[in-house]
Amino acid sequence: MKLQTEYQNYMSALMFFIADKRPVLASNDSKILSYFIPLKNFKKGFDYYELVRLPNGMVNFRIVTMLGLKIKVQTDSEFINHDLSEEEWNKLIYGLTMTHFYKEEYLALKKGYVKKGGGCFSIMVLGFFISSLLILLINI
């Protein structure tokens, strides 16, 4: 059964928050119900609003901000085992959006700061370079 059919109160509550932002349906099946909204200051940036069925049959609501194919910020709700009332969904969605949009990473992204590079590979290259330099110095 599609999540959209099974969780109708969720759909009403979600649309209350995002309908005016012209959401695009990304997925609508039995495992994930997902809408995305483009970010204003990034061509390939999107906020995804997703209801995801877990292997144990419960669902999880999450908001994911992506740039290209990289997840920049993700905020997840607690696990839910039935369709909440529309009012309960409103409270849950509102709370999660406030948490998500006030995370330090999201606020930096909104101001245009994007972490580039860094990561594990850069540290390995730097470590290799320093090790090679030390070996050269010791052999001289």
Per-domain residue ranges of the chain: 3-139
- Reported as half-sphere exposure (CB side, CA atoms, 13 A), residue 41 has a value of 9
**pTM score, two decimals?**
0.78
Higher model confidence: residue 111 or residue 26? 26
pLDDT tens by residue, 34-48: 999 998 878 888 999
pLDDT of amino acid 139: 74
pLDDT digits 0-9 by tens, 67-116: 988 999 999 999 999 999 999 999 999 999 999 999 999 988 888 776 66
pLDDT grade for 138, boundaries at 50, 70 and 90: confident
Q: Is the pLDDT of residue 127 over 90?
A: no
Smallest CA-to-CA distance from 49 within 81, 105, 83, 89 is with: 89
pLDDT at 122 over 70: no
Task: State how far the alpha carbon of 80 is from the alpha carbons of 2, 55, 99, 134, in Å.
Answer: 16, 13, 18, 55
Average pLDDT for the chain: 88
* Phi, psi angles (nearest 5°) of residue 51: -110, 120
Task: Check residue 114 and give its pLDDT.
Answer: 67
